[in-house]
């Protein structure tokens, strides 16, 4: 690995102004961000609808940065920090794979610089102060049953989804039913990813809704007087983290909201920093085009993030065979016809990217068992769908050298005309935004509104919360039904619940059976993670 001071120099940053965490990572204070520089081009990496075979989106994003450096471009990566839950659960780490990784990968996948701990600490401090406020009757009309703020944990622990707190008499009050969410779904994490500076962070935290009075007035973090203490906990977490790719290019790793139940992007400040320091920045959005990419545009860009110049859609032969109806056990068997059938999902991904006015480049993440006829089927489908370019991505095996073709295609796409458009107007009512998303994004036939959901939407609007919609739904289908592969049309979008994130300025809409706290699988990755007592090296952390 290169000295982190040399990596900082590539961004035009003086190492003396940074805050090093050991020899290979550092915090970048907001007051040392370059000012007045022309903004470089931003490339967002998204994917087809995820499958059990895995698409390698992070690997492709990292490899693309390495490939662009190989063709002589000044480039940086902005990427989310992995959450401990998936690392010890089923998904694994989020630092890429093979020869296309962000380093130090083990540190990034574990505690890194403590950002996730700071988020969880601030979140749970707010929960404690909210409970204390109801216990002390500090706010007229605000009682325990009016509290909506749930605690968070970074462990995938299904037993905490619904809990009763305050058992043991009045000394432990208030007694109430509540639950936990995963830390990556925390509104505090979402706020950190969207805030532009400390003042913006403070204003957003003060707006967080923690409950309701008995006459339906919102109670905020400002009302329970938690803002100052939370700001103290989040001081360092607001600063982006500098790391590097396996080939030494700058990688800014910051914040980590999930893409299915949160908005799924790294931070606005990371993108602003990188685009002001380089000619090209590659960033990654969570899951497929219907989730992470849509939220990147309608939430992150809408709230002040730099506009992208192009989008890369990651696809695999295996993934398209899955969408073409092939079972997981047969995905390594050659089947060009299944690829052609499953390519309707790729075509839909291209359609969504173009809906937002961006040129699309398809990256075929190569696996050893892909056949020439299958690769050609993907290329033909991509061009037929309207992709501006398509290239094989071999970053896992060959690092930057295996990504030159994709890098050239992406640079060309960045020079093509683009006209960034968002899906809906801010002023549109929440129900109308959801209906538009269902119709144009998911191609559903109708929206099924659950009990009190439209009433809740009206209550939010009465408080002035006409925020963008953060759809929480399965990542395994364009629809809300994980069993529907390909590009389903004419389905029903079932809306079960609405939650306001007034600080993050979005309305979370839960569609179908969605859990905001995952549970551990039958064979968690935690079984294989260990510490070698002789070398002190951590082993067994998988990357994706």
Farthest-apart Cα atoms in the chain, separation: 71
> What are residue 244's DSSP bridge partners?
103, 250
Pair 102, 253: CB distance under 8 Å: yes
CATH 3.30.1510.10 in the chain is located at 115-234
| Helix, strand, or coil (residue 491) | coil
Residue ranges in 278-426 assigned as alpha helix (H)? 294-295, 317-323, 336-355, 372-385, 395-398, 404-415
* 302-348 pLDDT tens trace: 999 999 999 999 999 999 999 999 999 999 999 999 999 999 999 99
Helices 372-385/336-355 angle, 10° precision: 30
User: Could you tell me which residues come within 8 angstroms of residue 358 by beta carbon, excluding any fewer than 6 positions away?
Assistant: 44, 308, 309, 310, 311, 418, 420
Pair 516, 473: CB distance under 8 Å: no
Pair 254, 82: CB distance under 8 Å: no
Phi and psi based region of residue 188 (left: phi greater than 0; alpha: psi -120 to 50; beta: remaining): alpha
Q: How far is 150 from 126, CA to CA, in rounded Å?
A: 10
* 49-84 pLDDT tens trace: 999 888 999 999 999 999 999 999 999 999 999 988
**324-333, 451-460, 513-522: least confident range:** 513-522
DSSP 142-180: --GGGB-PPEEESS--GGGSSEEE--SSGGGPPPEEE-E
Measured CA to CA in angstroms, residue 527 lies from 87, 112, 157 at distances of: 11, 21, 15
DSSP 272-302: HHHHHHSSEEEEEBSSSIIIIIHHIIIIIIT
Pair 79, 284: CB distance under 8 Å: yes
CATH class of segment(s) 115-234: alpha beta
pTM: 0.95
Confidence label for 544 from pLDDT (cuts 50, 70 and 90): low
Residue ranges in 195-236 assigned as alpha helix (H)? 198-207, 227-234
* 90-127 pLDDT tens trace: 878 889 999 999 999 999 999 999 999 999 999 999 99
Confidence label for 258 from pLDDT (cuts 50, 70 and 90): confident
User: Could you tell me which residues come within 8 angstroms of residue 17 by beta carbon, excluding any fewer than 6 positions away?
Assistant: 29, 32
Host H or E run for residue 183? none
Superfamily of structural domain 4-114+237-415: P-loop containing nucleotide triphosphate hydrolases (3.40.50.300)
Pair 284, 18: CB distance under 8 Å: no
Q: How far is 424 from 437, CA to CA, in rounded Å?
A: 9
Say what the pLDDT of residue 541 is: 86
Q: How far is 473 from 314, CA to CA, in rounded Å?
A: 21
Q: Which fold has domain 430-511?
A: Formyltetrahydrofolate synthetase; domain 3 (3.10.410)
* 471-516 pLDDT tens trace: 999 999 999 999 999 999 999 999 999 999 999 999 999 999 888 9
Q: How far is 193 from 176, CA to CA, in rounded Å?
A: 31
Q: How far is 298 from 306, CA to CA, in rounded Å?
A: 12
């Amino acid at each position: 690995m290169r000295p982190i001071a040399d990596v900082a120099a590539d961004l035009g940053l003086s190492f003396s102004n940074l805050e090093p965490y050991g020899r290979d990572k550092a915090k970048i204070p907001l007051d040392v961000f370059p000012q007045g520089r022309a903004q470089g081009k931003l490339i967002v990496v998204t994917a087809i609808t995820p499958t059990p075979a895995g698409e390698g989106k992070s690997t492709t994003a990292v490899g693309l940065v390495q490939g662009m450096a190989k063709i002589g471009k000044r480039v940086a990566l902005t990427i989310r920090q992995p959450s401990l839950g998936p690392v010890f659960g089923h998904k694994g780490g989020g630092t890429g794979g093979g020869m296309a990784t962000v380093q130090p990968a083990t540190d990034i996948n574990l505690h890194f610089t403590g950002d996730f701990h700071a988020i969880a600490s601030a979140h749970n401090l707010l929960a404690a102060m909210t409970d204390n406020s109801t216990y002390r009757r500090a706010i007229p009309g605000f009682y325990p049953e009016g509290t909506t703020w749930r605690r968070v944990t970074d462990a995938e622990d299904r037993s905490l989804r619904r809990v009763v707190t305050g058992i043991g008499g009045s000394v432990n009050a208030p007694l109430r039913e509540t639950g936990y969410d995963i830390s990556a779904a925390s509104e505090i994490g979402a706020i950190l990813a969207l805030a532009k500076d400390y003042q913006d962070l403070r204003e957003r935290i003060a707006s967080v809704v923690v409950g309701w009075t008995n006459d339906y007035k919102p109670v905020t973090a400002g009302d329970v007087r938690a803002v100052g203490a939370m700001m103290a906990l989040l001081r360092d977490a607001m600063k982006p983290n500098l790391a590097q790719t396996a080939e030494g290019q700058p990688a800014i790793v910051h914040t980590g909201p999930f893409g299915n139940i949160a908005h799924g992007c790294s931070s606005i400040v990371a993108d602003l920093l990188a685009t002001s320091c380089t000619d090209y920045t590659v960033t990654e959005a969570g899951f497929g085009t219907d989730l992470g990419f849509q939220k990147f545009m309608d939430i992150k860009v809408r709230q002040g993030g730099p506009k992208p110049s192009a989008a890369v859609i990651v696809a695999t032969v295996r993934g398209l065979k899955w969408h073409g109806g092939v079972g997981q056990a047969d995905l390594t068997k050659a089947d060009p016809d299944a690829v052609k059938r499953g390519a309707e999902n790729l075509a839909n991904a291209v359609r969504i990217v173009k809906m937002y006015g961006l040129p699309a480049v398809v990256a075929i993440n190569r696996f050893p068992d892909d056949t020439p006829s299958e690769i050609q089927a993907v290329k033909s489908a991509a061009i037929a769908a309207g992709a501006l370019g398509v290239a094989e991505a071999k970053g896992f095996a060959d690092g930057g050298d295996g990504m030159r073709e994709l890098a050239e295609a992406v640079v060309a796409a960045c020079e093509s005309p683009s006209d960034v458009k968002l899906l809906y107007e801010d002023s549109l009512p929440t129900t109308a935004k959801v209906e538009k998303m269902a119709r144009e994004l998911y191609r559903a036939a109708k929206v099924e509104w659950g009990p009190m959901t439209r009433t809740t939407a009206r209550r939010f609007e009465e408080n002035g919360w006409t925020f963008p919609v953060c759809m929480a739904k399965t990542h395994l289908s364009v629809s809300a039904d994980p069993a529907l592969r390909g590009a389903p049309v004419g389905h029903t979008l079932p809306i079960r619940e609405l939650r306001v994130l007034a600080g993050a300025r979005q309305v979370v809409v839960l569609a179908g059976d969605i859990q905001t706290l995952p549970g551990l699988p039958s064979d968690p990755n935690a079984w294989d993670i260990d510490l070698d007592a002789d070398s002190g090296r951590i082993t067994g952390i998988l990357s994706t």
